[in-house]
Amino acid sequence: YVYFPLSLFFFLLKPETAAVLKRTVEALMERGAVVRNLENLGERSLPYKISKHKERHRRGGYFLIDLEGPPSIVSTMMDHLGRDIDVIRRAFIKHPVSKTEECSGIIPVNYEDKLIAKKK
């Protein structure tokens, strides 16, 4: 798999917050994602009334999950969260890949030279 940085952004209803977050993080990890951070952005009014699961919502809790995972998890997680009655909206945001330094590896050590140097 090629892993790339993503953020999962979603709103949800308040009473079941801990259970929803636990289910979501477990589902991400089952699909091969590495969860880096979970941030609660607070409860606030939604930008507009949202009808979801036969209810109208005016407020919601906003959460952001930073993760790294294979591209294949996006569609399966969107389906999974779409069926979750506690999630009002969800979105994945792909981060640009930051430039990383390549490891130059281990510098080879000549152990014979070290042994000879200690004998003298």
Higher pLDDT residue, 120 or 87? 87
Answer whether 0.75 is exceeded by the pTM: no
* Non-local CB neighbours of 76 within 8 Å, separated by 6+ positions: 31
pLDDT tens digits for range 25-69: 999 999 988 888 888 888 888 888 888 778 888 888 888 888 888
Residues 94, 3: contact at Cβ < 8 Å? no
Amino acid letter for position 66? D
The rounded radius of gyration (Å) of the Cα atoms in the chain is 23
Measured CA to CA, the distance from residue 110 to residue 120 in angstroms comes to 17
